[in-house]
């Protein structure tokens, strides 16, 4: 019973195309995130949504547009793909509360732009 799932797992596409990655969590969490992991394994936050509202938007090109149709889903749409967008994208979720809530990560989507 997967907690955080992402589709697709692999995505190969050409420069200039538009693509989407989907994320779903069945943990009942109210907060979801997108992280980008580059070729050197460095992980960086891109976006965070709490109860479908955007709360964190790091310095990300506006070709990237997250959409949260409900608390359980956070999708990432990327327009006009560039070579530098090649990376692994991870979705995560957590439940806001006191202290530091644990984030649960999906398996990742490996995006390759050719």
Q: How far is the CB of 12 from another protein (least distance, A)?
A: 16
Span 4-33, contacts to another protein by CB under 8 A: 4, 31, 33
Of the residues 64, 71, 108, 112, which one makes contact with another protein according to CB under 8 A = 108
Residue choice 1, 41, 69, 83 for contact with another protein (CB under 8 A): 41
Q: What angle do CA 9, 72, 52 make, to 5 degrees?
A: 115
Of residues 14, 63, 61, 58, the one with CA closest to residue 34: 58
Site string for another protein, 63-92 (x = CB under 8 A): ---------------------------x-x
Q: Which residues of 66-75 are buried (b: 16+ CB within 10 A; e: fewer)?
A: bebeebbbbb
Instruction: Provide the CA 111 distance to its chain's centre, in angstroms.
Output: 12
SS3 at position 84: helix
Q: Which residues contribute to the site for another protein (CB under 8 A)?
A: 4, 31, 33, 35, 40-45, 48, 50, 55-56, 90, 92, 94, 96, 99-108
């Amino acid at each position: 019973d997967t907690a955080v799932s992402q589709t697709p797992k692999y995505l190969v596409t050409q420069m200039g195309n538009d693509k989407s990655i989907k994320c779903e969590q069945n943990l009942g969490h109210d907060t979801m995130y997108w992280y980008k992991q580059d070729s050197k394994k460095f992980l960086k936050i891109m976006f965070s949504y709490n109860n479908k509202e955007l709360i964190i938007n790091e310095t990300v090109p506006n070709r990237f547009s997250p959409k949260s149709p409900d608390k359980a889903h956070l999708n990432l749409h990327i327009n006009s793909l560039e070579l530098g967008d090649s990376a692994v994208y991870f979705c995560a979720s957590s439940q806001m509360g006191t202290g530091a809530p644990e984030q649960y990560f999906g398996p990742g989507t490996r995006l390759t732009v050719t």
